[in-house]
């Protein structure tokens, strides 16, 4: 327990994940938000002629599940991304089930900052996205976030905790 982690920092090796099925209308909804009208997302002829061979979703749809895991499960409510370093390794298509997974790889003791290993895996086992992120978890004033033991939102699977050991400062 430290002043910035009243309940103690998350344990190194702790993981959480969420899954969802990508629906065809996700492409339209993301286009309304982002303006991304790339033919690879809409034009079957163009998409079929591409290296993907079929319609693929925008990368923002693929990575969005990580926003949910981080904000809802681990580190939990009140968490925002400070930095992301993601490689998009394979396309995601409408109908795919994707699983976003995060793992705590570092946790500062002087600030509520964590470094996460992040992955998005398709239902066929293919890694669609891999990388790391740095997150800040602020108090929310609602009894959630790093000011509470209740950092895991309903519906998030139980996370696996591994013994925590302080890491050297990395930032």
Per-residue pLDDT tens over the stretch 53-72: 998 999 999 999 999 999 99
Question: In a 3-state reduction of DSSP, which class is residue 11?
Answer: coil
In this prediction, residue 7 carries a pLDDT of 78
**Conformational region of residue 82, where left means phi above 0, alpha means psi within -120 to 50, and beta covers everything else:** alpha
The stretch 20-34 carries a mean pLDDT of 92
Domain spans of the chain, in order of start: 15-147
Residue 137 pLDDT: 92
Q: Does pTM surpass 0.85?
A: no
Apex 91 CA angle, 87 and 95, nearest 5: 135
Statement: 15-147 belongs to CATH 3.40.50.300: no
- Pair of tokens at residue 131: 């990388």
Please provide the average confidence, as pLDDT, over all residues in the chain: 83
């Amino acid at each position: 327990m430290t002043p910035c982690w009243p309940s103690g920092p998350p344990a190194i090796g702790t993981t959480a994940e969420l899954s969802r099925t990508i629906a065809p209308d996700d492409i339209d909804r993301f286009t309304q938000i982002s303006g991304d009208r790339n033919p690879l997302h809409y034009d079957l002829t163009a998409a079929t002629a591409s290296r993907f061979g079929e319609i693929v979703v925008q990368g923002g749809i693929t990575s969005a599940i990580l926003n949910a895991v981080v904000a809802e499960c681990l580190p939990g409510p009140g968490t925002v991304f400070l930095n992301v370093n993601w490689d998009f390794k394979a396309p995601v298509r409408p109908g795919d089930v994707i699983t976003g997974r995060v793992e705590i790889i570092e946790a500062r003791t002087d600030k509520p900052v964590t470094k996460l290993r992040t992955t998005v895996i398709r239902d066929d086992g293919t890694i669609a996205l891999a990388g790391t992120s740095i997150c800040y978890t602020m108090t929310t004033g609602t009894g959630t976030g790093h000011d509470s033991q209740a950092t895991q939102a309903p519906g998030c699977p139980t996370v696996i905790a591994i013994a925590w050991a302080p890491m050297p400062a990395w930032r």
